[in-house]
Amino acid sequence: MNASAIIRTENISKAYGKTTVLKNIDLTVASGEFTAVMGPSGSGKSTLMNVLSTIDRFTAGDVWLEGQSLLALDKKDLRRFRQERMGFVFQDYNLLDMLTVKENILLPLSLRKTKPREMDARLMPIVQALSIADLLDKYPGELSGGQKQRTACARALITKPAIVYADEPTGALDSRSATQLLEELAALNRKFGTTILMVTHDAYAASYCGRVIFLRDGAIVNEMYAGDQSQRAFYDRILETQSLLGGKLR
């Protein structure tokens, strides 16, 4: 296995009854990558994320996360691996209304009984990078959608996960808030080297990534890298690929 690979799959398939959702997928994600997974509804992109994040079991093949085969882990080990090595960002934020921004962000560390000094040391660099340092005493009901999502991102990053899974993180945001979030995620990826795997239908969101993987009918049908090209040029290539694959991948 490639020493820099944080995720590797080998011929993974997933079926629900007689319906096969993922078909023999081989995928490698290097440590530190910011990768988008795109595809039309029913293409298997959410199922792929659920399998890679240990939320769902695959039917055949194998998945290695940080060199650890998921087939070798029982449910307890999988839960611990998910809690300790992964962060999650969802479209609907999943914040607790009765907790402040600070308390929501620190909740994963509080559950681990992390020392207050360490929690504070981790908190400030992340909230400053996400431009929410002045919101720590507010409650979710007092925040805009973009502020809620940045709070959710801070919560996902506070545990220093090996990988962050983001499921349509800009889906509920207006264009300005979405752009701010994407710019900050890209900056965090560069600054902290956190691996981010993002499911999105949006070519604009995907253009912030270094790599885009396209799914259709449960299989990888194309992928592309940003390389040295501008974001605009990468965006245009993504749109062109969407068109070649049959229109907008939503």
Using the predicted structure, report yes or no on whether residue 242 has a pLDDT greater than 50: yes
CATH code (residue 129): 3.40.50.300
Residues in Cβ contact with 240 at an 8 Å cutoff, skipping those fewer than 6 apart: none
Residue 10, strand partner residues? 62
Give pLDDT, residue 249.
45
Is 5 part of any domain? no
**Model confidence pTM above 0.85:** yes
| Domain count for the chain | 1
- Residue 66 has, within 13 A of its CA and on its CB side, a CA count of 11
Is 177 part of any domain? yes
Question: Using an 8 Å Cβ cutoff, are 93 and 148 in contact?
Answer: yes
Question: Using an 8 Å Cβ cutoff, are 178 and 170 in contact?
Answer: yes
Contacts 24+ apart (CB under 8 A), 130-135: 130/154, 130/184, 130/188, 131/180, 131/184, 132/101, 135/101
pLDDT digits (tens, 9 = 90+) for 11-25: 999 999 989 999 999
Distance from C-alpha of 163 to C-alpha of 217, rounded to nearest angstrom: 26
**What tokens appear for 186 in the block?**
């890209």
The mean per-residue pLDDT over the stretch 203-232 comes to 95
Is 215 part of any domain? yes
Q: How confident is the model at residue 172 (pLDDT cuts 50, 70, 90)?
A: confident
The mean per-residue pLDDT over the stretch 153-167 comes to 92
Is 222 part of any domain? yes
Amino acid at 89: V
Structural domain harbouring 188: 34-46+84-246
